[in-house]
Amino acid sequence: MARQLEADIIIKGAGPVGLSMANLLGVYGIRTLVLEQNPTTVQEPRAIGLDVEIGRALQTMGLEEITSADMMQGFHLDYLNANGRTIMDVEVGESPYGKAQMSSFIQPVFEQQLLDGTGRFDHVTVLFNHKVEEVSQTESQALAHGVTTDGEAFEAQAKYLVGCGGGRSLVRRSSNIQMEGFSNPEAWLVIDTIDPQLDGWVDCRFFCDPKRPAMTMKKKQQHRRWEWMLHEGETEEEFLDQNRINELLAPHTDPSQVTMLRKCVYNFNSIVAEQYRDGRLFIAGDAAHMMPPFAGQGMNSGIRDAVNLSWKLAAVVKGDASSAILDTYEAERRDHVVKLTKVANRLGAIIMPTSKVRAWIRDVVLTVVSAFEVSREALRRSFFVIPKLDDGLFVWDEPGASAHSGEMIVQPKIEDANGKQDYMDAFLPEGFVLMGIGADPEADLNSEAKSLCVDLGAEFISVTAEQANGSTLKDVTGALTEWRGTCPPFVLLRPDRFTAAMFNADDAEASLRSFVAHYKA
């Protein structure tokens, strides 16, 4: 007889997306079961960059401090043409969200930290060597059937199941969900090394040479990523040969002192699933989308999926929200991924021209743009802008709509009445927040508006530019006040720190009622 397993949520796949979701559901108090067919987390580096939104998600998980120790937070990025001249450079530093815009990391270390994080929760179970062979659903349950590496059959049941098992997703195929998009024709050699000789060398560099487009990126612990584009007619076998790899490394470092961690040749995909939900089954991460690496947003987009879906699943499982809010997962995430995939392909077009004429035009354009501070800054922002959400669980109509609807709130330094300073999220609860910026929701809102906040489980926070006192916090740098601008002072923040609504005291009841109607319906 098959061993019986039961939870509120089943996650298929213990990669960075699945383990991020497990940690978030752990924080939210949801019984979670993670099933992974491999014996452990990945032992080779794959993704290399984490952006500011994921840094913020790690705060929510309670893992920001331990994970940041093994990241290189912020870096200098430059683009060199065929003559070795810098045609563009970008400083990837602090962001308005309290973390570096992008950080490099070592994936095996990061995944182990995520796995260790799940151990904090008695209600989260991670089972390796458990291969899911079939998924199905009834009106009330999601089901997973499989076998362990020892040959023991198991059956798991839950309210919902999330497929985070990668590009060959069993969950996606079981739901007959199709992928749309294309595979980039160019193949790339990707290697990861430990290289003491280059420990003090460039952080991140793109070699925009038509003869051989390439890139390199530094990580902690003397780790480094290299990528070279193959031309038509060149083979995987040729470029995986160590002598050929040494030839590529030789202009930059002594290959004899390099430790090779990983080498592979692959083509990048620009594909997205037609849908992210089939009843009680969901897909996330590579199961739902894949994109070229040029914007560093592949794994980041997957963890965004986990952040977006986790708090909604938690709310539904607890009975706090209608299951209809789960439809907003696809509405909020799919279009966002499509936009970022286009950004990644545009950046790839800068790097990959093999035509000397196209490369020359690119060099001229970027040289002119880089000559002026205003255009340089605009270009820098275009590299790292995260598109706003323009659909989903937000108040889109007046009252309650604002220029910040569908946007993540900034995260400046905040000070409490005891003089303690930290980034804003450290002072916020894990659920909904009704924040007054230069206003006090406790004092200014009527009883009906407050009652609606209670229905949401929202806590009141007041932030002012003046001295902190009592429960009122101080906006140390004025960044939060600047972000508000001319918008109304009251902000309804979702658990993922996105702005659900902004309103004046007079409009609070109507705005909150509009949101609650969607949330509870």
- What was the pLDDT predicted at 386? 66
- What was the pLDDT predicted at 384? 61
- What was the pLDDT predicted at 184? 86
CB atoms within 10 A of CB 510: 16
Is 15 in the same domain as 110? yes
Is 302 in the same domain as 176? yes
Q: Which of 131, 148, 172, 160 is nearest to 25 (CA)?
A: 160
For the residues 250-254, what does the mean pLDDT come to?
97
Beta bridge partners of residue 10, listed in sequence order: 33, 161
CB atoms within 10 A of CB 466: 9
For the residues 301-320, what does the mean pLDDT come to?
98
Is 64 in the same domain as 144? yes
Confidence category of residue 99, pLDDT binned at 50, 70, 90: confident
Q: How far apart are CA 219 and CA 46, in angstroms?
A: 12
Number of domains in the chain: 2
Query: Cα separations (Å) of 88 from 72, 205, 358?
Result: 21, 10, 16
Confirm if 73 and 514 have CB atoms less than 8 A apart: no
Confidence category of residue 366, pLDDT binned at 50, 70, 90: confident
Does 71 have pLDDT greater than 70? yes
For the residues 401-430, what does the mean pLDDT come to?
93
CB atoms within 10 A of CB 281: 24
For residue 282, give the amino acid letter: F
For the residues 78-98, what does the mean pLDDT come to?
88
Is 14 in the same domain as 125? yes
Does 476 have pLDDT greater than 80? yes
Query: Cα separations (Å) of 459 from 300, 330, 455?
Result: 29, 27, 11
Q: How far apart are CA 248 and CA 251, in angstroms?
A: 7
Residue range(s) defining the domain that contains residue 169: 3-71+103-180+270-341
Confidence category of residue 399, pLDDT binned at 50, 70, 90: confident
Mean pLDDT is lowest, of 82-86, 450-454, 494-498, for: 82-86
- What was the pLDDT predicted at 351? 81
Task: Give a yes or no: residue 137 inside a domain.
Answer: yes
Beta bridge partners of residue 104, listed in sequence order: 49, 72
Is 19 in the same domain as 127? yes
**Class of residue 218 by CB neighbours under 10 A (exposed 0-12, middle 13-18, buried 19+):** buried
Confirm if 150 and 1 have CB atoms less than 8 A apart: no
Beta bridge partners of residue 183, listed in sequence order: 269
- What was the pLDDT predicted at 100? 87
Provide the 8-state DSSP code for 203.
S
Task: Give a yes or no: residue 117 inside a domain.
Answer: yes
Q: What is the pLDDT of residues 504-515, one digit of tens each?
A: 999 999 999 999
- What was the pLDDT predicted at 454? 95
Beta bridge partners of residue 421, listed in sequence order: 415
Does 381 have pLDDT greater than 80? no
Q: How far apart are CA 491 and CA 37, in angstroms?
A: 43
Tokens of 10: 């089943």
Q: Give the H/E segment covering residue 449.
A: helix 447-456
Q: How far apart are CA 264 and CA 106, in angstroms?
A: 17
Q: What is the CATH number of the domain that holds 300?
A: 3.50.50.60
Confidence category of residue 195, pLDDT binned at 50, 70, 90: very high
Confidence category of residue 387, pLDDT binned at 50, 70, 90: low
For the residues 75-101, what does the mean pLDDT come to?
88
Q: At what angle do helices 327-351 and 298-317 cross, to 10 degrees?
A: 170
**Domain C-terminal end among 324, 341, 358:** 341
- What was the pLDDT predicted at 469? 80
Does 409 have pLDDT greater than 90? yes
Task: Give a yes or no: residue 379 inside a domain.
Answer: no
Is 26 in the same domain as 149? yes
Task: Give a yes or no: residue 483 inside a domain.
Answer: yes
For the residues 176-192, what does the mean pLDDT come to?
95
Q: How far apart are CA 120 and CA 29, in angstroms?
A: 11
Mean of the per-residue pLDDT values of the chain:
94
**Domain C-terminal end among 341, 370, 402:** 341
Is 8 in the same domain as 145? yes
Q: Which residue has the tokens 């609807």?
A: 405
Q: What is the pLDDT of residues 6-34, one digit of tens each?
A: 999 999 999 999 999 999 999 999 999 99
For the residues 300-327, what does the mean pLDDT come to?
98
> For the range 357-365, what are the long-range contacts, defined as Cβ-Cβ under 8 Å and sequence gap of 24 or more?
359/81, 359/82, 359/208, 359/209, 359/210, 362/87, 362/208, 363/81, 363/85, 363/87, 363/208
Task: Give a yes or no: residue 512 inside a domain.
Answer: yes
For residue 317, give the amino acid letter: V
Beta bridge partners of residue 193, listed in sequence order: 224, 260
Does 383 have pLDDT greater than 80? no
Q: What is the pLDDT of residues 126-146, one digit of tens each?
A: 999 999 999 999 999 999 999
The dihedral of CA 479, 480, 483, 485: what is its sign?
Answer: negative
Provide the 8-state DSSP code for 438.
S
Is 419 in the same domain as 502? yes
Q: Which of 116, 165, 157, 113 is nearest to 138 (CA)?
A: 157
Does 378 have pLDDT greater than 80? no
Work out the percent of the chain whose per-residue pLDDT is above 70.
Answer: 98
Is 56 in the same domain as 143? yes
For residue 347, give the amino acid letter: L
Does 501 have pLDDT greater than 80? yes
Is 314 in the same domain as 432? no
Question: 276 or 378, which is more confident?
Answer: 276
Is 436 in the same domain as 315? no
Beta bridge partners of residue 131, listed in sequence order: 147
- ω into 489 cis (within 30 of 0): no
Q: How far apart are CA 48 and CA 105, in angstroms?
A: 5
Does 326 have pLDDT greater than 90? yes
Q: What is the CATH number of the domain that holds 429?
A: 3.40.30.10
- What was the pLDDT predicted at 321? 98
Is 279 in the same domain as 152? yes
Q: Which of 417, 385, 407 is nearest to 500 (CA)?
A: 407
Task: Give a yes or no: residue 402 inside a domain.
Answer: no
Confirm if 245 and 229 have CB atoms less than 8 A apart: no
**Domain C-terminal end among 316, 341, 366:** 341
Does 254 have pLDDT greater than 70? yes
**DSSP SS3 for 292:** coil
Does 380 have pLDDT greater than 70? no
Task: Give a yes or no: residue 310 inside a domain.
Answer: yes
Task: Give a yes or no: residue 504 inside a domain.
Answer: yes
For the residues 414-421, what does the mean pLDDT come to?
93
